Amino acid sequence: MNGDNGYARLYRQGVARLREAGADAPEFACKCLLEHVFCDPYTKLLCSETPPPPAAAARFSVLVAKHASGYPLQYIVGEWEFLSFPIYVAEGVLIPRPDTETVALAAVSFLKRSGPGARFLELGSGSGCISVALAKMTGCSGVAVDISETAARLTRENAAHNGVEANLRVRCADLFSFYRTLPDCGFDLVVSNPPYLSARELAEADPSIRFEPREALDGGPDGLVFYRFIASAYAPKLRSGGGVCFEIGYGQAAGVTDILRKNGYMDIRVEKDYGGNDRMVMGIRAPGTAAPYKYKGE
């Protein structure tokens, strides 16, 4: 490394600025920002004998300051990896997180066991990271639904970006009514990372989430509104032996397990994320059980 070149100075200054602001992983963030602004690998830049262009150097400093204010790094760079797949991200959708990979991998495993022709339905697709991973890793086809036009657009773009657009039909719709448009027994798996923060959790949440869409976070008074509705209203859309796979928040395993049990699901299991926290609940639909849930908003 050429410790005296302009790129190295920009990097050191950026790290110091982010560390002073209390940002997470300032070294990693500055590496990402350097590569984003200068479009070259970090190691190549730090060894360069050529000074950085002044306009780009100024832009780098602006982006460091923006991230120091709490603005997510993922939104700045515009793309993030999910299970090694490149996923476009932007304001208006949740940022893909490693914890969600646990859910996607469980869903992939289930679809592979379901055999050729298995189909999935994702409710609340956001960036589309889960649907893209399922289509990419299994070859299965599916439907991805989100009420947000931004999310539906990004899901389409990410499907095309990863070469699975032919496997994925994307709809912009409200999941609280979309089930009426679907035939019964049309899917082997319903997967969802729904809004699951309770009113209290939203009020006490880390300020870093303030840039992410509230509608993708707010799970109602107790955080379980979406689980109750999906578990019942979408149950008839599952084929015999089909499953539902949910991402859950901290402390929700017992509540979501109880919802599934009351709606006639069997073989319910909970899996932990990389940090050892309960993160995924899956249940298998037993045929002919439970009447469709009547949502109070209807």
Range scoring the smallest mean pLDDT among 8-17, 50-59, 208-217, 266-275: 208-217
Q: What is the pLDDT of residue 292?
A: 46
CB 293 within 8 A of CB 229: yes
The pLDDT of 205-225, averaged and rounded, is: 63
Lookup: tokens for 144: 């991805």
How many Å apart are CA 228 and CA 260, to the nearest integer? 8
CB-based burial of residue 66 (10 Å sphere; 0-12 exposed, 13-18 middle, 19+ buried)?
middle
CB 32 within 8 A of CB 39: no
Question: Which residue do the tokens 């949740």 mark?
Answer: 94
Which stretches of the chain are DSSP H helices?
Answer: 6-21, 26-38, 42-46, 54-68, 73-77, 98-114, 129-138, 149-161, 175-178, 199-204, 225-233, 253-262
- Assign 92 a pLDDT band (cuts: 50, 70, 90): confident
CB 239 within 8 A of CB 184: no
Range scoring the smallest mean pLDDT among 23-32, 83-92, 222-231: 222-231
How many Å apart are CA 175 and CA 216, to the nearest integer? 13
The pLDDT of 172-185, averaged and rounded, is: 95
Question: Which residue do the tokens 């070859």 mark?
Answer: 139
Residue type for 205, please? A
The pTM assigned to this predicted structure is: 0.88
Contacts 24+ apart (CB under 8 A), 157-160: 157/88, 157/128, 158/87, 158/88, 158/127, 158/128, 158/129, 158/132, 159/128, 159/131, 159/132, 159/135
- Assign 5 a pLDDT band (cuts: 50, 70, 90): confident
* pLDDT > 90 in the chain, percent: 77
Q: What is the pLDDT of residue 286?
A: 77
Q: What is the pLDDT of residue 115?
A: 85
Torsion of CA 82, 88, 91, 95, to 10 degrees: 0
Question: Which residue do the tokens 């002044």 mark?
Answer: 54
Question: Which residue do the tokens 């609940």 mark?
Answer: 281
Strand order in the sheet with 238-247: 168-172, 141-146, 119-123, 187-192, 238-247, 278-285, 265-272
The pLDDT of 194-203, averaged and rounded, is: 65
pLDDT digits (tens, 9 = 90+) for 156-177: 999 999 999 999 999 999 999 9
Using the predicted structure, report yes or no on whether residue 259 has a pLDDT greater than 90: yes
Torsion of CA 216, 97, 197, 271, to 10 degrees: 130
How many Å apart are CA 213 and CA 203, to the nearest integer? 14
CA nearest 82: which of 112, 110, 111, 103? 103
The pLDDT of 196-212, averaged and rounded, is: 60
In this structure, the chain runs to a length of: 298
Q: Average per-residue pLDDT in the chain?
A: 89
The pLDDT of 77-105, averaged and rounded, is: 94
Q: What is the pLDDT of residue 164?
A: 98
